Amino acid sequence: MINRRKFLRHSVLSTGAILLAQQLNAKSNLEVKLPLVISTWAPNVKANKAAWEILSKSGRALDAVEKGVMVVEADPDDTSVGYGGLPDRDGNVTLDACIMDELGGNGSVMCIENIMHPISVARLVMEKTPHVILAGKGAFEFAIQQGFKKENLLTASSEKFWKEWLKTSMYNPMDTMKHMKQKRAPGSIDNHDTIGMLAMDVNGNLSGACSTSGMAFKMKGRVGDSPIIGAGLFVDNEIGAATATGVGEEVIRICGSHTVVEAMRYGKSPREACQIAVERMYKLRKNNLNDMQIGFIAVNKSGEIGAFALNEGFTYAYRLGDGIDVVKSADFLLKK
């Protein structure tokens, strides 16, 4: 039974949202705490906080995920997203991002350079063009036409790190990972930690956003899962949403985030659905994956959240209706 008084105390809700919450509770027996936001990786509590500024004022989930992700994109100390992202093997910072709204709208940019906020460009691709993906030079030119500034995204510290890497130029993601461990988010076991963010607003609408500079020292032109709808992110406003972090090549192979949402469609909880995607990946590729990290987070339409990773060390951060920051370590498949 829903504890209505508690529900009202902890949430900023419109009447419509209360009705929705009652319907959801009737269906799932859960106490829904709206709004909610969940992000990959512990340091992204800062992104959740920014998203919360919108969500707690009954704002739209789409605005919240864009705003949250922008915080990380602008952070020079986050070396795997936006400004300060580690470059490709030739020294170019190339960024991938995508966004999905509650109406099934989606927009992506791939391999865009010199633009601080690829997530906002992705949103404009969705809202202002007849297309869903713009890549490379075309994405950059579109951004400039839309008023974005051309900026150098390679910070002195990331450049130093790249020059250090050039001495060996080991193009092996796992070796590179060992090389750079100290630079990554706590708990990351390899050289990437995309922000994927999912939010549900007080009206029960879902949106998601995903942004990354991809794998450090990748080949020029390499695109990972993060800007690919269904791989790095998938939102179905009737069912739920999921997003991924980790080695994009593996996530793409199984259309990871779509797989998670489809498992929820057939009744799995968000955590079970994330585990199904990880297990499918492992079944395909087995020992190739031992040293890699791949993690999923998900939320269903009842406001239940969950996560699962391939290896130990994947963390996620969330705020539910009470607005309190929570950080958790995900369960994982490969117990050593």
Q: Which residues are catalytic?
A: 194
Element (H, E) at 212: strand 206-212
Count of residues touching ligand ASP (by CB under 6 A): 14
Q: Under the criterion CB under 6 A, does residue 248 sit at the interface with ligand ASP? A: yes
Among 19, 14, 54, 20, CA closest to 36: 54
By C-beta, is 192 or 271 nearer to ligand ASP? 192
Residue number with CB closer to ligand ASP (61 or 216): 216
Residue 103, number of CB atoms within 10 A of its CB: 12
CB of 247 to ligand ASP, least distance (A): 6
| Binding segment toward ligand ASP, per CB under 6 A, in 2-10, 14-22, 143-151, 190-198 | 190-198
Cα separation, 316 vs 261, in Å, equals: 18
Shortest distance, CB of residue 193 to ligand ASP, whole angstroms?
Answer: 5
| Residue placing its CB nearer to ligand ASP in the complex, 34 or 185 | 185
Amino acid letter at 298? A
Rounded distance between C-alpha atoms, residue 302 and residue 262, angstroms: 15
Shorter beta-carbon distance to ligand ASP: residue 20 or 98: 98
Minimum distance from CB of 11 to ligand ASP (Å)?
Answer: 32
Distance between start and end Cα atoms, the chain: 41
- Contact mark string toward ligand ASP, 83..112, x via CB under 6 A: ------------------------------
User: Residue from 245, 259, 300, 311 that binds ligand ASP (CB under 6 A)?
Assistant: 245
Letters for 11-30 (x = contact with ligand ASP by CB under 6 A, - = none) are --------------------
Residue 193 CA, chain-centre distance (Å), reads 9
Burial of 137-172, coded b for 16+ CB within 10 Å and e otherwise, reads eebbebbeeeebeeeebbbeebeebbeebeeeeeee
Quick one: which of 60, 67, 192, 319 contacts ligand ASP (CB under 6 A)? 192
- Residue 262 CB contacts under 8 Å (≥ 6 apart), including other chains: none
Tell me the closest approach of the beta carbon of residue 71 to ligand ASP, in angstroms.
17
Strand order in the sheet with 240-246: 233-236, 240-246, 294-300, 305-309
**Contact region for ligand ASP (CB under 6 A) — 52-60, 82-90, 245-253, 302-310?**
245-253
Closer residue to ligand ASP (CB): 55 or 233: 233
Closest approach of Cβ 243 to ligand ASP, in Å?
A: 10
User: What is d(CA 72, CA 152) in angstroms, rounded to the nearest whole number?
Assistant: 16
CB nearer to ligand ASP: give 246 or 323: 246
Mark 207-236 with x for binding to ligand ASP (rule: CB under 6 A) and - for no binding: -----x-xx--------xxx----------
Annotate 298-336 with DSSP letters as a single string: EEETTS-EEEEESSTT-EEEEE-TT--EEEEEPPBS---
Which residues here bind ligand ASP, judged by CB under 6 A? 80, 192-194, 212, 214-215, 224-226, 245-248
